[in-house]
Amino acid sequence: MERDTLQRRAIREALERTARPLAPQEVLDEATPAAPRLGIATVYRTLKSLVEEGWLKAVELPGQPPRYERAGIGHHHHFHCRACGKVFDIDGCVGKLQGMVPKGFVLEDHDVVLYGRCDACVK
């Protein structure tokens, strides 16, 4: 069913090697050295199947193309650098969200996205 190919190995390794969420194009760039003729279509197909498999998680940010990171790293949020466009994982979580919900509404989940400059871009 799930075959072990050079391309999938390269894509998985690219995602394991990088600690931050990657966009499809970034995955292609990271994986191409290990799988030279890799195409963007294969990246999209592989990312989709890895998400369905539960190995990957899609990270959706407002106004941004989806990015992907390894699943199972626990509840966290994201920091989006306005200078370089990279997305970083943020530990910790805000509180008092329940109090913001209007009467009669049921709160099930939440997203927090921080914007600014990463340490590399501040310099």
Residues that bind DNA (CB under 7 A): 1-8, 23-25, 35, 37-42, 44-46, 48, 65-66
| CA 114 to the chain's CA centroid | 15
Contact between 86 and a copy of itself by CB under 8 A: the answer reads no
Q: What is the dihedral of CA 113, 19, 1, 7, to 10 degrees?
A: 120
Query: Which residues, numbered 20-79, are part of the site for a copy of itself (CB under 8 A)?
Result: 58, 60-63, 66, 77, 79
- Find, among 3, 22, 5, the residue nearest to 14 by Cα: 22
- Closer residue to a copy of itself, CB minimum distance, 6 or 107: 107
Non-local (6+) Cβ contacts of 82 within 8 A are 115, 116, 117
Shortest separation between residue 45's beta carbon and DNA, angstroms: 6
| Piece in contact with a copy of itself (CB under 8 A), picked from 2-10, 29-37, 39-47, 105-113 | 105-113
- Find, among 48, 46, 80, the residue nearest to 64 by Cα: 80
- Closer residue to DNA, CB minimum distance, 7 or 18: 7
Can you tell me the distance from the alpha carbon of 53 to that of 36, in angstroms, rounded to the nearest whole number? 25
Tell me which residues touch a copy of itself (CB under 8 A). Answer: 58, 60-63, 66, 77, 79, 82, 88, 90-97, 99-119, 122
